[in-house]
Structure 1
Amino acid sequence: MPLLSRLFATMLATALPLSAAAQDTLYFSAIPDEDETRLIERFSAVADYLSEELGVPVAFVPVKSYPAAVTAFRNDQVQLAWFGGLSGVQARLLVDGARAIAQGDEDTTFVSYFIAHTDTGLERSDDFPEAARGLSFTFGAKTSTSGRLMPEYGIRQETGEAPEDFFSRVGFSGDHSQTLRLVASGAWQVGALNYTVYDQAVADNAPEVETTTIIWQTPPYPDYNWTIRGDVDARWGEGFADRVQAALIGMDDPDLLAAFPRNAFIAARNDDYAPIEQVARDLDLLE
């Protein structure tokens, strides 16, 4: 499908009323962890793949924020979503029967990077960078697992202090790409972001890597996941959720996988994200 047609279909889907979900189109969304243009390019191709595999129309619906992705899932505006660890937990708690069905092979042991502007003089270490005390620091989105939840948990575990007490100033950039840009520009001295975004920037020889350096990485944790509503079998037929799971796990096109980027997708269960739910409760980030 031409890009303009995809964009038009996407814009139309965002304007559909809640009752549209009752039609035969499967709508899915994703947390906006990167620029919207890149997300539309990534997930429009995924929609084409799923439509062919499942034999039903599939459309990608972009959203403006992490909470908006959870709300769309709760309100049945989308029936499938690519969530982060925390947003997936939030969505499943709001929708009876919702379940995680797939994750990237890398998502079982995901990490966050702490990066610093080169002018700080900080260097990479296996130990938490105590020398960053008193510098300015930015998270990503407020409900991002890799951009906020686990970095904050790491700060508290390693220092015994809240981020606001350890750093001179704390902010939220909104997404991983923006965190990288802001630290690279010197607007913030230190930031935390999804490791795949930084590694991709290095692979692309992005200019931002010239003025930033990795100074620490968190211990591994479970992160991104595909989550599906519990009522899809009633709508598209018995076993439909399992068919979606099989289609995702069977996705082996290098171009599609590189868009995430992931080497492969594997099966996931709700229980895989129990550690994320516990950390979120410890930090009072769940209602």
Structure 2
Amino acid sequence: MSKLKRPLAVMAGCCLSVAAALPYAHAAEQSVLRVSAIPDEAPTELQRKFEPLGKYLENELGMEVRFQPVSDYAGVVEALDAGRLDLAWLGGFTFVQARLRTGDAIPLVQREQDAAFTSTFIASNPDVDEHADLKGKSFAFGSVSSTSGHLMPRYFLQQADIDVDAFFGRVAFSNAHDATVAWVASGRVDGGALNSSVWNKLIEEGKVDTDKVHAYATTPTYYDYNWTVRGDLDPELAERIEQAFLKLDPSNPEHKAILDLQRASRFIETSPENYKGIEQAARSAGLLQ
């Protein structure tokens, strides 16, 4: 029995049949799936990446899929908690925050790559080839709530006995991975950390001037992004959403185009347990009390 159907069996055994049917009556009225994503890249890029996925989900689910951009990471968590969103693309740390705040947010799927994600450290000075070379210099993370752009780079620096706030001359937050690269390339800061997937994409697309910025280190691996639904979403709809993602087949050209935009080889099931390490890292780094 799937993780989404087990609660139904319990509910059916504990509640009157009429009461148990009420969530389904409510779900039958839902005609729009409201979707968002943490703003870890420019809004236009997020919209471009989601458009074909949104059309695919509409076909698979038989309902309108509406993308609702948010201004910051906290906005996604707040919207899930308030029931204004049904499905969201979250980083590992944002999922932990959402789970702690809502108590029941459910991670459905992750990209295969998210089981072994990394962050990349970059610098403008070509002579920088280790963290020690940036001592006393300015450094940028992405969003405060970013897993790959802040939490895990900070955590692994801490593991290397580097007190981030004392080690660097100035610490700033660019609020997006591509912005971090732009800040380093322009000389606004001397170094930074970002999502390795975004760094590789920018390199592949020729959007990084490697004469102005280079990668000098990569973190160990950790779990990161996932697609999460609010905990009170109709379990049958949540199951259909999960199956739609799992159905994406890289051997199908239309599916591969969607997967490529998501920088995914394929989607696989995930669970809250996968993100316990992220929660522990956040507590160790002082980002969760």
TM-score, normalising length from structure 2? 0.85
| Alignment partners' CA distance in 2, 1:195 and 1:151 | 11
| Alignment partners' CA distance in 2, 1:210 and 1:204 | 16
The 5 A counterparts of 1:34-45 are 34-45=41-52
1:275 corresponds to:
277
The 5 A counterparts of 1:12-161 are 23-117=30-124, 119-123=125-129, 129-158=131-160, 160-161=161-162
Q: Which amino acid aligns with 2:265?
A: N
Deviations 1:39-89 (A, max 9, x none): 112112221111111112211111111111111111111111000000011
The answer to whether the 8 A contact 2:155-2:284 is kept is no
The answer to whether the 8 A contact 2:61-2:240 is kept is yes
Residues 1:214 and 2:221 aligned together:
no
The 5 A counterparts of 1:261-272 are 261-272=263-274
Shift of 1:97: 2.8
Give 5+ residue unaligned stretches, structure 1.
Answer: 1-21
Tell me the secondary structure at the aligned position of residue 198 of structure 2.
helix
The 5 A counterparts of 1:3-14 are none
The 5 A counterparts of 1:238-249 are 238-249=235-246
| Alignment partners' CA distance in 1, 2:38 and 2:48 | 14
For this pair of structures, how many residues does the alignment match?
A: 256
The answer to whether the 8 A contact 1:44-1:59 is kept is no
Deviations 1:15-40 (A, max 9, x none): xxxxxxx7421101000010001111
The answer to whether the 8 A contact 2:126-2:213 is kept is no
Shift of 1:120: 4.8
Deviations 1:215-239 (A, max 9, x none): 1111100000111112222xxxx52
Deviations 1:248-287 (A, max 9, x none): 1222312211212111111100100000011112223235
Q: Which amino acid aligns with 1:258?
A: D
| Alignment partners' CA distance in 2, 1:139 and 1:207 | 17
| Alignment partners' CA distance in 2, 1:97 and 1:156 | 31
| Alignment partners' CA distance in 1, 2:44 and 2:206 | 20
The answer to whether the 8 A contact 1:201-1:209 is kept is no
1:169 corresponds to:
170
1:250 corresponds to:
247
| Alignment partners' CA distance in 1, 2:210 and 2:113 | 22
Give 5+ residue unaligned stretches, structure 2.
Answer: 1-28, 250-254
| Alignment partners' CA distance in 2, 1:225 and 1:273 | 10
Tell me the secondary structure at the aligned position of residue 191 of structure 1.
strand
Tell me the secondary structure at the aligned position of residue 209 of structure 1.
coil
